[in-house]
Chain A
């Protein structure tokens, strides 16, 4: 077991390394392939009075003229040891972990990411609680009452749920509950939990429900399907034959087998969400990682895009890892080979 964990950890680190390399290459190569010169890339980082020579020296200071692997090496070194950036006016120290320095807003990327992470984590975890409860609950009940009105209705709603884009349901909910009825905060409001927990929840309740609705639908369908399959298995029949009451059968044996696929999906969904719930945050203008990424892309702020993509990838890889490890705990059939 221990060796397995170590092996998976090493694998995750290597994966992260490769992903960072590819991401770095793409963001720094594609603009070049598209025809931008290093001077073009540097020109957005210089002052209004800069002439050609100043732009060129900025390109050199930024290291755009160096080979790609050197730039990447510096970037990675910065994550562990911090880095110094020469803005022309002064040398700015970007302390470790330095995920780059934005020359457009003139600040290191990492503190921004930490700042935005709070919003995204609030959004993702809150929604996750709701969708797990509703999704799995509905799925189990549907499976047990297969063919009833409840089953059909909830599965119908679930199918509608997975077919609705969140930027449509989100807009609808804003129109009705926020703008029309005035029950919830307008889009774009966010208060830190530490500042005022009530306002925090008030601002997030609509995004939570909308995001949860979308995901709950999928979970309900998955839970129902797995549950149905499980309840036909031999071991359930055995359990029943033993004379266990139905409740015990369902909870101890049925639910347990549902846990594995739900866990897998849940970990990955959460991983993706934590890296930035791009659509939800854009629809509700929440200042999370996803919105940050979109804004950075819009203003062509490559260091920020790179930083947020890497953080997103890290979340996904960590989620993968955690799922795999939990898997081993939950399901003894998994062999650690």
Chain B
């Protein structure tokens, strides 16, 4: 974090994570991150393995307060799902099952090695590991991977998944294998399979971080013969250590060992439990109670416990010793809309940056346990992120004097009036709006609060520039999580002004050619360390435009039942690593 990365810096990085997660104040043990610890204590599973174990057997019991978007590898976009899917599917690359920052590194999974880029970074070649089989014993070939990626392009059939392949592959008008003239559904020209063990991706623009794309679940092979389109999620064919035994959509499913998974082909997964059970749509408070009582092992959603359990855990040292409070690669922030006068003037935007009381922002998300005050966009768990604080104030409570000066420079010495939008069902965002209304009110900036339905926030309201402008939405409360922990995965979608569409945007406000130029530089930088620095420069450039008011870097409070072994938080997902977990009984 905020340091150049060297091999020996891993431990230091992990320690930094611990120091940042203020909860517990450094409890736990002094064990080196490469070893493990059995000493219990707050944050004992952050930066190191807690209760390391190789003992196989037992049933891992998991629950979900809601339900998956889809179990189909081509149609899922939740972080927990990408974490969990590694139990039943193997993508070309994967996040290394390791604690802390090490877990944010990519390692080959179905591929033998990292991708081989061409000189212009527009062609990427992977070799597929030999001996990997589907659960029915069929050998996995590069064509199965190509087919899987091709079908994931069809966003009518699979609306949930990411769209990176749609944007970066040289599609030449290809839309879907279901509408393909090729009977094998392999008509896509952007992916070539010269032999059964080689797959070549051809991009429409150069991109240095393609390995992250190769780590998305959409590269998990799907056998054409077993593909049932929208119904494939009911019977996914496994390539991982577990396969579906039962699957009752919306209620529960169980995973059992996949006999055709060969540990010799898989250096990454421990596959400790014999069986994994998952209960869906369980009451969230009930999940917490069962975790604490020991009737349940993991809350799969990985966003932490509910407020009631949080209060209980924080108040009880014994419970607190079994909890972890890691930082996530998620930012809660507010867009400042330059389309709305007088916010087209940078000084007026700066006035907001100075006037905002970030402690109120933090309170809205539950105080120090819920998040850490952010001063720039890139969360510190992302390698290469630097501390950038262009609009400092004492205790982050806002600098009224500086704000007034900025207002005067903007020609609005008495302040101005504008609207602030938030997502209606997000009560924390509502609290943010109310808090900003108070703190900006100190310098005469008067906010009127407006709420819009969450489901259509991006498509019809805040994410639709025409609407935001005509409705005078000067401020728009929002949140953003990284698809994967690197600069591209976090910043591209919320800072690149060239991808702004008439509606359905995720970048509501950051429109500046300087930021765009910085992005171009970062995307084509071949050296990893330099690339991380380049993304930090994008962060700085975005903050200089003052188009976004960073609020809070999210933290979750996780409860770690005693039954779990081999537990650690991976920075790859900011959750417990589900491929590593084992159980004591």
* A and B in direct contact, judged by CB atoms within 8 A: yes
Interface residues of A (CB under 8 A from B): 36, 40, 43-44, 46-52, 87-90, 104, 106, 179, 185-189, 285, 287, 298-301
Distance of A52 Cα from B503 Cα, bound (Å): 9
- CB proximity of B543 to chain A, nearest CB, Å: 27
Q: Are B459 and A90 in contact (CB under 8 A)?
A: no
- Residues on A with beta carbons closer than 8 Å to the beta carbon of B455: 44, 104, 298-301
Question: DSSP class of A's interface residues: helix, strand, loop or mixed?
Answer: loop
Distance of A188 Cα from B285 Cα, bound (Å): 9
Q: Within the complex, which residue of B156, B163, B283, B503 is in contact with A188, where a contact is CB–CB below 8 Å? A: B283
- CB proximity of B387 to chain A, nearest CB, Å: 33
Q: Within the complex, which residue of A36, A48, A89 is in contact with B157, where a contact is CB–CB below 8 Å? A: A89
User: Is B317 an interface position by the 8 A CB rule?
Assistant: no
Q: Are A90 and B229 in contact (CB under 8 A)?
A: yes
Distance of A300 Cα from B453 Cα, bound (Å): 8
Question: What are 21 A-B pairs at a CB distance below 8 A?
Answer: A40-B460, A43-B460, A43-B503, A43-B504, A44-B459, A46-B159, A47-B155, A47-B159, A48-B163, A48-B504, A88-B157, A89-B176, A90-B178, A186-B286, A188-B284, A189-B283, A285-B283, A287-B281, A298-B454, A299-B455, A300-B453
Q: Are B459 and A43 in contact (CB under 8 A)?
A: yes
Q: Are B456 and A89 in contact (CB under 8 A)?
A: no
- CB proximity of B172 to chain A, nearest CB, Å: 15
- Residues on A with beta carbons closer than 8 Å to the beta carbon of B315: none
Q: Are B503 and A89 in contact (CB under 8 A)?
A: no
Q: Within the complex, which residue of A40, A186, A299 is in contact with B285, where a contact is CB–CB below 8 Å? A: A186
Q: Are A187 and B230 in contact (CB under 8 A)?
A: no
- CB proximity of B175 to chain A, nearest CB, Å: 9
Q: Are A89 and B460 in contact (CB under 8 A)?
A: no
Q: Are B229 and A187 in contact (CB under 8 A)?
A: no
- Residues on B with beta carbons closer than 8 Å to the beta carbon of A49: 155, 163, 166
- Residues on B with beta carbons closer than 8 Å to the beta carbon of A104: 455
A300 and B456 contact, Cβ closer than 8 Å, known pairs A89-B154, A90-B229: yes
Q: Which of the listed residues B155, B159, B178 has the most CB atoms from chain A within 10 Å of its own CB? A: B159
Q: Are A298 and B504 in contact (CB under 8 A)?
A: no
Q: Are B156 and A87 in contact (CB under 8 A)?
A: yes
User: Is B289 an interface position by the 8 A CB rule?
Assistant: yes
Q: Are B159 and A298 in contact (CB under 8 A)?
A: no
Complex: chain A residue closest to B153, CB-CB: A49
Question: DSSP class of B's interface residues: helix, strand, loop or mixed?
Answer: loop
- CB proximity of B464 to chain A, nearest CB, Å: 9
- Residues on B with beta carbons closer than 8 Å to the beta carbon of A51: 501
Distance of A52 Cα from B504 Cα, bound (Å): 11
User: Is B528 an interface position by the 8 A CB rule?
Assistant: no
Q: Which of the listed residues B163, B454, B460 has the most CB atoms from chain A within 10 Å of its own CB? A: B460
- Residues on B with beta carbons closer than 8 Å to the beta carbon of A89: 154, 156-157, 176, 178, 229-230
- CB proximity of A303 to chain B, nearest CB, Å: 14
- Residues on A with beta carbons closer than 8 Å to the beta carbon of B284: 188
Distance of A299 Cα from B425 Cα, bound (Å): 10
Distance of A125 Cα from B158 Cα, bound (Å): 41
- CB proximity of B466 to chain A, nearest CB, Å: 11
- CB proximity of A104 to chain B, nearest CB, Å: 7
Q: Which of the listed residues B155, B230, B289, B453 has the most CB atoms from chain A within 10 Å of its own CB? A: B155
Q: Are B163 and A44 in contact (CB under 8 A)?
A: no
14 further contact pairs, Cβ within 8 A, besides A43-B459, A43-B503, A47-B158: A40-B460, A44-B459, A47-B155, A50-B155, A89-B176, A89-B230, A90-B157, A104-B455, A179-B308, A188-B284, A189-B283, A189-B286, A287-B281, A299-B453
Q: Are B425 and A298 in contact (CB under 8 A)?
A: yes
Q: Are A106 and B230 in contact (CB under 8 A)?
A: yes
- Residues on B with beta carbons closer than 8 Å to the beta carbon of A179: 308
- Residues on B with beta carbons closer than 8 Å to the beta carbon of A106: 230
- Residues on B with beta carbons closer than 8 Å to the beta carbon of A285: 283
Complex: chain B residue closest to A295, CB-CB: B425
- Residues on B with beta carbons closer than 8 Å to the beta carbon of A300: 453, 455-456
Distance of A90 Cα from B154 Cα, bound (Å): 11
Distance of A328 Cα from B221 Cα, bound (Å): 68
- CB proximity of B149 to chain A, nearest CB, Å: 15
User: Is B502 an interface position by the 8 A CB rule?
Assistant: yes
- Residues on A with beta carbons closer than 8 Å to the beta carbon of B155: 47-50
Q: Within the complex, which residue of B166, B285, B308, B456 is in contact with A44, where a contact is CB–CB below 8 Å? A: B456
User: Is B424 an interface position by the 8 A CB rule?
Assistant: yes
Q: Are B502 and A52 in contact (CB under 8 A)?
A: yes
Q: Are B460 and A44 in contact (CB under 8 A)?
A: yes
